[in-house]
Amino acid sequence: MKKILRVLLGALAFVLITLILYSLWQIYSIRQGYEESARRYDDLSLAVVASPQPTAASPAESRPAGIAPSSPPPEEGEAPEETETSPVSVDFEALRQLGGDVIGWICLPDTVINYPVVQGRDNSYYLDHFPDGTSSVGGSIFADCACPSDFSGQNTILYGHNMRDGSMFALIDDYINPAFCEAHPFFYLNTPTQNYRVDIFAGFTTDPESFVYTTAFGEESDFAAYLNTLRSLSDFSVPTELSSSDRILTLSTCTYSDLDVRYVLFGRLAEIG
């Protein structure tokens, strides 16, 4: 009997040790995947992104948070004001050598968000693939396959993982904190044909089947009602002006605050130099 007990205890100890070793290996593999993903995006950024010369006044200095600049034309003999530009300059020709699915570059200044934007034929491939098509635990930032690739749609949706190491779209749900929103009232989107400042106007938690994932509206009045609803549900209030003729960008990511919920952040596209 004692011999059988010793055998059973030995087998149990072996199983426990095996499970512990497997768990440690899983943790190590996940960390390695995070580090590899971060390194590859850092290398890509260094290869294709440059910072242009700063303009005479930054957006934060030249206008209230989230409000598009508006000034009269210069009088005769007056030097024109410098055009607002994106804080990054992207070599899209070099970037597209990775693959033909690259459609833009998103940058939230002073944060880790500084990534290419891709668009696949479905909304699953780039969940676990790098823009060049190789496997990646962090996936890519990608546009909804139903949206026009040139961001000409009324609502272009971008998806990104909420990575536990803080990368990709992990900080999007930080907009729950009004102080974070005040410090980061806009971000930038560069495309091969036009650059944009994206003025944030709403953000909140929702479910994956929410009405917010509507990408096109039959009537301007429907879109205006949609925008008003987004503002009414927002975790914060900002003075960004909106109209039914605007185009918006929606950033969507998972959140760990509850099971199967998303944090969505909305911004108005404003053309810049």
Q: What CATH number has the domain bearing residue 247? A: 2.40.260.10
The model's confidence at residue 101, banded by pLDDT at 50, 70 and 90, is: very high
DSSP one-letter code for 27: H
Under a CB-based contact definition with an 8 Å cutoff, are residues 269 and 248 in contact?
yes
Q: Is residue 68 part of a domain?
A: no
Query: Exposure of 250 by Cβ count < 10 A (0-12 exposed, 13-18 middle, 19+ buried)?
Result: buried
Q: Is residue 48 part of a domain?
A: yes
Spatial CB neighbours of 73, under 8 Å, sequence gap ≥ 6: 80
Q: Is residue 44 part of a domain?
A: yes
The model's confidence at residue 64, banded by pLDDT at 50, 70 and 90, is: very low
Nearest to 123 by CA among 96, 95, 160: 160
Nearest to 140 by CA among 16, 31, 245, 41: 41
Give the count of domains, the chain.
Answer: 1
Q: Is residue 159 part of a domain?
A: yes
Query: Exposure of 56 by Cβ count < 10 A (0-12 exposed, 13-18 middle, 19+ buried)?
Result: exposed
Q: Is residue 71 part of a domain?
A: no
Q: Is residue 61 part of a domain?
A: no
Q: Is residue 173 part of a domain?
A: yes
**Look-up: residue for tokens 């699953």?**
124
With a cut of 50, say whether residue 76 has pLDDT above it.
yes
Residue 204 is part of which domain span? 2-56+84-272
Lowest pLDDT segment from 57-66, 90-99, 126-135: 57-66
With a cut of 70, say whether residue 109 has pLDDT above it.
yes
**What is residue 180's predicted lDDT score, i.e. its pLDDT?**
94
Give 240 or 28, the one with higher predicted confidence. Answer: 240
Q: Is residue 113 part of a domain?
A: yes
In whole angstroms, how far apart are CA 89 and each of 100, 188, 273? Answer: 19, 11, 11
The model's confidence at residue 260, banded by pLDDT at 50, 70 and 90, is: confident
Query: What is the reported pTM?
Result: 0.79
Q: What tokens were used for 106?
A: 């998103």
